[in-house]
Amino acid sequence: MAKIPVIISTDPGIDDAAALGMAFYRPELDVRLITTLHGNVDINKTTANTLKLITFYRQDTPVARGMETPLFQPVVSTDVHGESGMDGYDFPESTHRIVEEHAVEVMRSLLESSDEKITFVSIGPLTNIAMLFLMYPHIKGKIDRIVLMGGSLSGGNVTSAAEFNIWADPHAAKIVFDSGVDMVMIGLDVTLKALIGQEELDPARKRSQAAEMFNATFRHYRDGDMENGVVMHDMCAVTYLTNPEIFHVEPKRITVITEGPAKGMTMEINGEPNIQVATEIDQAAFKAWFAETLERME
């Protein structure tokens, strides 16, 4: 079976850290590049965290540093991931070296030299991808699709209207949503139901360093409710890419509000659909997918 070539844009982040691990160990995926950017914490921390994760997961995937700030607004972040972005676990320092070029240039070069279209997985703000489209609009034809964790049709998690990844750079999100590239939006409508907790981790903790790391970091994520499970927002984008049948998606026309009290809102409007939106998730199948992938990481 041919692997799906992917570029991941990320801002680790506790759930990003778990999502990256899942992507590395899924046999369906060929992770060719990771780009970092502002988001859950500042870009120095997101980049350092990504390099630590490359070492932790025993990978050699290239890492390129991307956009430090949103396109048209001051940088924003929250404290839900702790001071470092990955509090709760003592990661070894990384010896993995970052690519010297800016992430936008590395993405352009990789796409232009590829004989096959590449899928983008965005689990942070969309600034890197938006800047790529602004600087090199011709490159859109080299992208198979974008699977993003972000947005919501039913209220936000950072404001009443907006989900964090879209709110963190709504102008970038609007550029990407309006780009014409095939897209799948995995938003809060389904990710809030994607719960992983003690029951899913305990069977693997004695034999899996990854399970032990998840157990430690998940306790520092939002409310850290390991009994009922913590929400795996970003992991859902990886899950969809390998097993789309776990989700129900519907074509919709979505626009992004860029200014005012509803900034960052992903609003459904009338018109030709521009994106596939996940509206339901099979929770049992998601947990089974997680357990299967975790076994591969031992």
Catalytic (active-site) positions:
233
Residue 228 neighbours by CB distance under 10 Å: 10
Give CA–CA dist 263/281, Å, rounded. Answer: 27
- List the one residue out of 55, 5, 3, 14 whose CA is nearest residue 33: 5
Task: Extract the tokens encoding 123.
Answer: 């689990």
CA dist., res. 77 & res. 79, Å (int)? 7
Residues 6 or more apart whose Cβ sits within 8 Å of residue 193: 281, 283
Structure tokens at 252: 């919709």
158, 45 in Cβ contact below 8 A? no
| CB of 13 closer than 8 Å to CB of 6 | no
Taken in order 200, 19, 231, 154, the sign of the CA dihedral is: negative
Structure tokens, 230:
């913590």
Distance of CA 240 to the CA centre of its chain: 12
Distance CA 109, CA 232 (A): 32
